[in-house]
Amino acid sequence: MNNQKFIIDFDSTFVSVESLDLLATLSLDGRADKEEKVQQIADITDLGMNGDISFTDSLKRRLAVLEANRSHLQALIPLLKSNISPSFERNRDFIQEHSDSIYIISSGFKEFIVPVVADFGIAEDHVLANTFEFDGDGNITGADQQNPLAGDGGKIKVVEELGLTGDILVIGDGYTDFEIKQAGLAEKFFAFTENVSRDNVVEEATFVVPSLDEVLFAKQT
Ligand SMILES: [Mg+2]
């Protein structure tokens, strides 16, 4: 392992789904316009992931369509636990063993990421993610704007603040994951394609990895 640190994305990487898309299927359940709204959210997610709209814009637009509350979040957590990416599930022991060297950096939300990765031994202070804001009735009203991850370039800012040393590897499916390496904060960017393969992300990769297995193999060669 030497002094390797793993920066790992959550949505479409640690889990095989986009959490907010899944949250939408829960919060919009039973509504006549459900399908249309779920599609709207998926489209906004894609625009953001491809770098076509700003992240701030993407997050704001998705939260507005969601209309989710605390009870939907409680239902989301077990659903995410049953949608762990197969190669992460397969390498659960490795992740547990090296959890001190693993950081989950996501523009998703701590409210659902922390309990999911806790099952793999990853501590809350190794999860850097957004937090929701709620009204008095428990409805999600937005994201805490004090958190750098709620804004553009957020991943770069929080990795900078972490001040990690050693051989830093980034694993993710999105353009913002590549940007951590582009900013000079990591040695290698692994474009993770087990769940989704985005051309503009794959183009920038140090290595394209169809699963976590290839990352763990590459680190030893
Ligand atoms: Mg992702």
Domains of the chain: 4-218 (3.40.50.1000)
How far does the centroid of ligand 1 lie from the alpha carbon of residue 135, in Å? 28
Q: What are the structure tokens assigned to 6, written together?
A: 């793993």
State yes or no: pLDDT of 180 exceeds 50: yes
Tell me which residues have their CB within 5 A of the ion that is ligand 1: 9, 11-13, 173-174
pLDDT interval class at 42 (50, 70, 90): confident
State yes or no: pLDDT of 206 exceeds 70: yes
What integer is the mean pLDDT of 98-105?
97
Instruction: Name the average pLDDT for the chain.
Output: 94
Percent of the chain clearing pLDDT 70 (strictly above) = 97
Element containing residue 143 per DSSP (H, E) = strand 140-143
Lowest mean pLDDT among 18-22, 52-56, 124-128: 52-56
Q: What is the pLDDT of residue 152?
A: 87
How far does the centroid of ligand 1 lie from the alpha carbon of residue 10, in Å? 6
Distance between CA 221 and CA 74 in Å, rounded?
42
What integer is the mean pLDDT of 53-73?
91
How far does the centroid of ligand 1 lie from the alpha carbon of residue 49, in Å? 8
Distances (CA, A) of 96 to 46, 108, 117, 125: 31, 22, 10, 15
How far does the centroid of ligand 1 lie from the alpha carbon of residue 106, in Å? 7
Which positions ≥6 away from 149 have C-beta within 8 Å? Answer: 106, 107, 128, 129, 130, 155, 157, 158
State yes or no: pLDDT of 220 exceeds 60: no
Q: What is the pLDDT of residue 221?
A: 46
State yes or no: pLDDT of 185 exceeds 90: yes
State yes or no: pLDDT of 51 exceeds 80: no
- The answer to whether 88 touches 16, Cβ cutoff 8 Å, is no
Amino acid of residue 179: E
How far does the centroid of ligand 1 lie from the alpha carbon of residue 13, in Å? 6
How far does the centroid of ligand 1 lie from the alpha carbon of residue 137, in Å? 30
Element containing residue 187 per DSSP (H, E) = none
